[in-house]
Amino acid sequence: MPPSTLLAQSKEQVVITLPDQSVKTFDRPITAMQLATDIGASLAKATVGAIINGKIVDASTFITGNSTVSLITANSKEGLEIIRHSTAHLLAMATQQLYPGAQVTIGPVIENGFYYDFAYERPFTPEDLTKIELKMKELAKQNLAITRSVITKEEAVDKFTKLGEHYKVLIIKDLPDNEEISVYKQGDWMDLCRGPHVPSTKNLKVFKLERVAGAYWRGDSKNQMLSRIYGTAWANKDDLKQYIKIKEEEAKRDHRKLAKTLDLFHFQQESPGMVFWHPNGWTIYQQIKSYMRKVLDKAGYLEVNTPQIVDVSLWEKSGHWDKYDENMFTVTSEHREMAVKPMNCPCHVQIFNQGIKSYRDLPLRLAEFGSCHRNEASGALHGLARVRGFVQDDAHIFVEENQIQQEVSAFIDLLHKVYADFGFNSEKLIYKLSTRPEKRVGSEEIWDKAEEALAKSLNDKQLDWQKCPGEGAFYGPKLEFTLKDCIGREWQCGTIQVDFSMPQRLNAEYIGRDGEKHFPVMLHRAILGSFERFIAILIEHYAGELPLWLAPTQVVVMNISDNSEAWANKVYSELQNQGIRAKIDVRNEKIGFKIREHTLLKVPYMVIVGDKEAEQEIITLRLKSGENQGSMSIQNLCSMLQSESNMVL
């Protein structure tokens, strides 16, 4: 007799405590779905799973003994994840029905959706996706019950071998012998899965397949290339419509597309993941660097510069080689193995170690616009957002233990200023404190002090923050700062991390107030993260229409006729003399054509001069939005542009 039947016939009394602390008592075990039905038909209809004693399970799971139970509905975060996981299974079922011979591999939930990887004789196409999505809708309407069963490892290998599922067999064989193996079945189709899943395919109503891409089996380029089909699923149609609207807006703002239109940068196969900056893009880059240099100088940072290539022995001492060697580029020189630096911290310790340091020298703030290289997987590269060569606004602060809180507090103030200057609302920042992991260095007392200092820095500023237990680095806790752009997307940029380990590993010492040698605490911090990724964020946040101080070209001067060309050239020269980034367009084209062209190039201001302007030695100013600002002198124009451009500097 199946265990579920035995449970159903059991006379054991069941006391269930619900989230509102109300209690329901039953004279035998019942399923979560039966509990939902007992509470109300509408709740049962919305239920897709349950949380029983803290564990997320299927709605068909029996509740035994005294238990705390929360029912999961489609509109909850947990419910949405279950729906997406189940929709991935629906995708796999539809695909295998339409394309016999396609093997399933893995199909996880991801942000806003899911994907499933397939091994097939050819890559899937967008046309295939249309057919698969129609088949998914057909299967969903069939109201196929989704059931779970537990089998042995041997049974699982046998079942999937008979089905010809080579990749599933490999996955099963890699599982521990004592691990519970569950399979889910819908109709005559089944898949290996931990679950949980929705009760029936009828719960899967709102989904859309988005794209297909290539992916290597287990992420290894030496393995077979698979077809990865991405999709999204939601609890209701309105949420899907909103998601599609945001995706369309994202596509318009894609920094890779705008880079072509605005002539900012490009990539090519001869140097994958490395940026070829064009004059326009490099101007943006240099403006940001100049701004950050001034901000850091005012905040008491000392700028340094360290070598690009360093002997592997330093990375071994710092601990990076054991954990990060696969992501490091190496070269051999004079029979020595050297590594291109993936981060700056060990090199900054070398500067700290030059000469004797005293507690009077602390805090010591060393900043570097450090060029770093990491051997990211080719499939992970994504425009400026994920590259192999990048520059960080990196800094390391060497402090005494009792200085941690004041330095973190000052850093938060600095971060708020920088984000505000770039146009991001500090009130929408997300703050996270990651605390000690199981494996760590340093005493409990030091960890207590560091975590309390970070929390106090946030609390003193009355900031709402999230605690992430166990997510700190082995060498210390950290704060993460996530900003939101104008369409609500979240970008984790700033960090400050407390490090007890590296100063000790690299013999960094200072003479304390007691005359004895001590190891400083090292604070790793960045505000932008990397220049490349932050520029990608800026381009997408502003849809390419950067504020005046960042715009590659701040103003373009255009003449209406040949008679006004000389005056246009004089205006252009004066703008350049005043340090304003200007261009001139005196082509023999109609003024309307010129205006449209420079509007598409998103130039903030357009200066138009015709016969009247030339005669009166004035200019007419026009915004890229089309608004006419009227006439003014060159002097007033320069003052206005300089004032606006210098607002954040």
CA distance 431 to 443: 26
| Cα→Cα distances 168→92, 96, 99, 220, 510, Å | 13, 14, 18, 17, 57
Give the DSSP H/E element, type plus range, for residue 126.
helix 126-141
- Whether 283 and 581 have beta carbons less than 8 Å apart is answered as yes
The catalytically annotated residue of 478, 518, 533, 598 is 478
Query: Which amino acid is present at 26?
Result: F
Active site residue 396: yes
Strand partners, 114: 109, 231
The catalytically annotated residue of 96, 186, 287, 392 is 392
The catalytically annotated residue of 128, 191, 394, 485 is 394
Active site residue 96: no
Structure tokens at 487: 């369409």
> How far, in whole angstroms, is CA 188 from its chain's centroid?
39
- Whether 40 and 73 have beta carbons less than 8 Å apart is answered as no
The catalytically annotated residue of 228, 320, 374, 416 is 374
Q: What do you get for the CA distance between the two ends of the chain, in Å?
A: 77
Structure tokens at 386: 């994920």
Structure tokens at 563: 């008679």
* Sheet with strand 146-151: strands edge to edge: 146-151, 181-186, 189-192
Give the DSSP H/E element, type plus range, for residue 397.
strand 389-399
Active site residue 416: no
The catalytically annotated residue of 191, 197, 341, 345 is 345
Active site residue 357: no
Active site residue 260: no
Q: How many CB atoms lie within 10 A of CB 413?
A: 12
CA distance 212 to 450: 46
Task: Give 432-448 as a 3 state SS string.
Answer: EEECCCCCCCCCHHHHH
CA distance 295 to 314: 31
Among candidate residues 233, 237, 240, 235, the one with its CA nearest the CA of residue 87: 233
Active site residue 590: no
- Whether 60 and 32 have beta carbons less than 8 Å apart is answered as yes
Active site residue 413: no
- Residue 272, helix vs strand vs coil: coil
The catalytically annotated residue of 85, 197, 524, 541 is 524
CA distance 454 to 408: 7
Task: Give the residue ranges of DSSP H helices in 491-629.
Answer: 502-505, 531-541, 565-577, 591-600, 611-616
- The set of residues, in sequence order, having a beta carbon less than 8 Å from that of 221 and lying 6+ positions away, is 377, 378
The catalytically annotated residue of 168, 396, 541, 624 is 396
List the catalytic residues.
345, 374, 392, 394, 396, 478, 524
